[in-house]
Chain A
Amino acid sequence: MFRDILKKGRRLAGLGSLVAALTVTAPAMAQDKEPIVFGGSIPLSGVFAFAGIHLHAGLTDYTSWINSQGGINGHPVEYVMEDTAYEVDRSVAAFKKISGSSSPATYYGDSTGFMKAIASELNSMGTTLMSGASFATALTDNEQYPYQFIPGPSYSQMFGIILEYIASQGEGGDMPNVAFVYSDTEFGKDPIENGKARAAELGIEVVEEIVTKPGSVDVSAEVLKLRRVRPDYVVFHGYVLSPINEFMVQMRQMGLDTQFMGTFWSSDKLIIDKMGADADGYMGVMPYNYYDSEESGPMLDALRAQAEKSDPDAGYRPTGYIQGWFNAMVWTEVIKRTLDAGKELNADNMAAALASIEDWDTGGIIGIPVTVKDMSFPVGRIWRVNAEAGRYEPVSDWIHLD
């Protein structure tokens, strides 16, 4: 019986090897060039899975789309990922596994913790360029993180964009004041000091700072603090939904006419879906056009077509999907620039190619041509919830920070 099991095992292993060999070699045979690998530590389970599933879909669909366009300079693209459950040690394990087996040119990291933990190894490898879910300000430090970039503005830059918008509302009259409400996490505290400094430069008074646990529910005491100072704007950061909804509902019940704003991860449709009419007027900074916005462009149209093709029943695609797609778009651009210059595809050359991006037309994903600064794309736009229409609508022009 044991022999039978062994025999079956060998047969299965043989079949598996054949399937794996065909899967790997088929595109290469078809396009006759070495495949380029996009790697990824993706949180398909765990606390960040709500976004990870869409990031994964964005990366998968972009890979299908770019291969349908002939790949990158004739090289087919493979996307190799592993689930991480949003745990740093498992993200690092996935990186080691994928790096060892597939030599990825670019890699998607699922958290700031992972991006920091892998930095020394990434720097010593010198083969891979990395970006991901993190918009952490620390990653704009080129000395420490020369091979990591942010696929949009950093959290500090998002605050900069929000504060520029607020300042623009005060032109010709009283400058509005603002309160910062953020979570007691590395994510939450990231932009606060830079935000306060920028507010001071713009003449905006920060009248209150409130720190809460992410996902807090009982915020009555904090709401009372805000009632005392009556801020014109409250900027949330470091949350996905709660306690933003609690603050908004309670402050509106108190008759305050405060306006509420948030950063990337708290500016998706989830707020509209969960809050309904109470979400009306909430504003967020977003570097990309929303899937259901009225904007268009060749790449945005391609994204919508590919999303429709891959899953016709999915309907709206969250911002995580667009973020995943945009990451892969930047990787493609960087790889293309490197290959076009006749250079070897290594981290130094790709980082140099990234730094050379100037006035790049993203085909409608971002509404204006973008320039890379400090390994980030410091651009965004303020969008406001129209609860009746069930979507975000732009209320500012695109703001590109210098």
Chain B
Amino acid sequence: MRIGDAKQTYEADEAIWTSNTQKLWFGLLLLILLLFPFMADSYLLYLGCLVGIAVISTTGLNILTGFTGLISLGQAGFMGVGAYTVAWLSLNTGLPFPVTLLLAGLMAAAVGILVGLPSLRVKGLYLAIATLAASVFLHFIFAEWESVTGGMGGLSLEPAHLFGWTFQSDFRMYFIIVPLAVLMVFAARNVLRTRVGRAFIAIRDRDISAEILGINLLRYKLMSFALSSFYAGVAGGLFAYFYRVVTPESFPLSMSIFYLAAVIVGGMGNLLGGILGAAFMTLVPEALKLLTAALTPFYPNAPVFMSPMLEIIFGALIVGFLIFEPHGLAEIWHRIRRFFRLWPFRN
């Protein structure tokens, strides 16, 4: 039983691993992630890939909104930039996927910096509207710049490839998406324990105070936008390789809201929250379908009346979380951990 978490040095405070138990659990998680595709059917594998993409994008948005306090409704637009970059590069240059994904991230980061410029003057809801406008603008470019984006019909691309290997099936895509998701979450964790991460948090908590402390707001706000958009760009690139078709309608505004909801439901300013939020938002609608499946043998018409009900239940679950646990799923997770840490003692 652990009874304390005393940290006596700055290094200990910054350390990613605080105990050997943590390393053990993380190793176990990696093992499960590694074995999962060998045991899962195509449906579960698909959901696994989908959660992986959502985790990357949510982590990016969490850096911007959760850690830096800048609300963005442009995440789907940035993902679109990444997806179109991958699609265009794949069709016109034949570059392997690590290069296209990197360039997708960089292109989205560049666009993110431009979109982030208003954040120097406005914040809160005003910034949300500014990013919303950027999202609409990007959608317009996706739809109208036909020579590059293929217009409303979009672009179809070949599977991801590397050294003669093609990644056509979900099974193979899993081995791109999930390791990248792990790597990028890890990288985010790493960034957030550096000066850069502390600067983000200082800006979130009080930007004027942060500036007085010597933090260059222009630099760090744009850096946060760039980093967040980079994550979105990579997630968009993976989305493109996963579905192998990109159209302007692949990245609607509702997708940006989806990711913002994932950050809020999971727990803002908490990387684990982003992961749990992404998994929750992706998997719960699927899990709720089990209710319909259970009722259908008794009421053949169950799908017709249960389907809209499930949407309501899903919405109610989100509202319930916000009311009863405003700190999100991450806090619930921490409470469960605390319970087991103290077990069998209650207090």
Contacts and interface: CB of A to CB of B under 8 A. Distances in A.
Interface string A69-81: 0000000000001
Contacts, number: 89
Contacts of A89: 50
B136 to A, nearest CB: 11
A178 to B, nearest CB: 21
A93 interface: yes
A116 interface: yes
Contact of A184 (B143, B168, B292, B298): B143
A53 B43 CA distance: 24
A116 B247 contact: yes
Given A20-B297, A189-B152, A93 B47 contact: yes
Contact of A120 (B168, B249, B285, B303): B168
A97 B168 contact: no
B211 interface: no
A119 interface: yes
B337 to A, nearest CB: 20
B310 A83 contact: yes
A49 B304 CA distance: 10
A107 to B, nearest CB: 14
Nearest to B239: A89
Given A45-B307, A100-B42, A16 B249 contact: no
Contact of B310 (A23, A45, A113, A144): A45
Given A20-B297, A83-B292, A56 B304 contact: yes
Interface in B25-44: 41-43
Contacts of A186: 152-154, 247-249
B133 to A, nearest CB: 16
A117 interface: yes
A99 B42 contact: yes
B308 to A, nearest CB: 5
Contacts of A49: 307-308
B124 to A, nearest CB: 27
A210 to B, nearest CB: 16
Interface in A148-201: 184-186, 189-190
Contacts of B286: 90, 93
A85 interface: yes
B280 to A, nearest CB: 15
A81 B298 CA distance: 16
Given A83-B292, A83-B303, A113-B250, A120 B50 contact: no
A63 to B, nearest CB: 11
A93 B46 contact: yes
B151 A189 contact: yes
B294 interface: yes
A113 B303 CA distance: 23
B244 A120 contact: yes
Contacts of B243: 88, 92, 117
B247 A23 contact: no
Interface in A8-60: 16, 19-20, 23, 42, 44-46, 49, 53, 56, 60
B285 A96 contact: no
A204 B298 CA distance: 57
Contacts of B143: 184
Interface string A112-150: 010011011000100000000000001000001000000
Nearest to A113: B249
Interface-centre pick from A101, A120, A184 (highest chain B CB count, 10 A):
A120
Interface in B247-286: 247-250, 285-286
Given A44-B308, A117-B243, A16 B46 contact: no
Consensus secondary structure, chain B interface = helix
Interface string B194-215: 0000000000000000000000
B245 interface: yes
Contacts of B42: 96, 99-100
Given A20-B297, A44-B303, A96-B43, A116 B156 contact: yes
A170 B151 CA distance: 34
Nearest to A16: B294
B297 A97 contact: no
B311 interface: yes
Interface in B134-169: 143, 151-154, 156, 159, 168-169
A83 B311 CA distance: 11
Contacts of B46: 92-93, 96
A263 B43 CA distance: 36
Contacts of A82: 289, 303
Nearest to A193: B151
Contact of B152 (A90, A117, A124, A185): A185
A320 to B, nearest CB: 13
Contacts of B153: 138, 186
Contacts of B170: 96
Nearest to B40: A100
Contacts of A20: 297
Contacts of B43: 93, 96-97, 100-101
The 9 closest A-B pairs by CB, nearest first: A44-B307, A83-B307, A97-B43, A186-B152, A96-B43, A45-B307, A117-B243, A19-B297, A96-B46
Interface of B: 41-43, 45-47, 50, 143, 151-154, 156, 159, 168-170, 243-245, 247-250, 285-286, 289, 292, 294, 297-298, 300, 303-304, 306-308, 310-311
Interface of A: 16, 19-20, 23, 42, 44-46, 49, 53, 56, 60, 81-83, 85, 88-90, 92-93, 96-97, 99-101, 113, 116-117, 119-120, 124, 138, 144, 184-186, 189-190
Given A81-B303, A82-B303, A120-B159, 9 more contacts: A20-B297, A56-B303, A83-B303, A93-B286, A96-B46, A113-B250, A116-B154, A186-B154, A186-B249
7 contacts: A45-B308, A46-B311, A83-B306, A100-B43, A113-B247, A116-B245, A186-B249
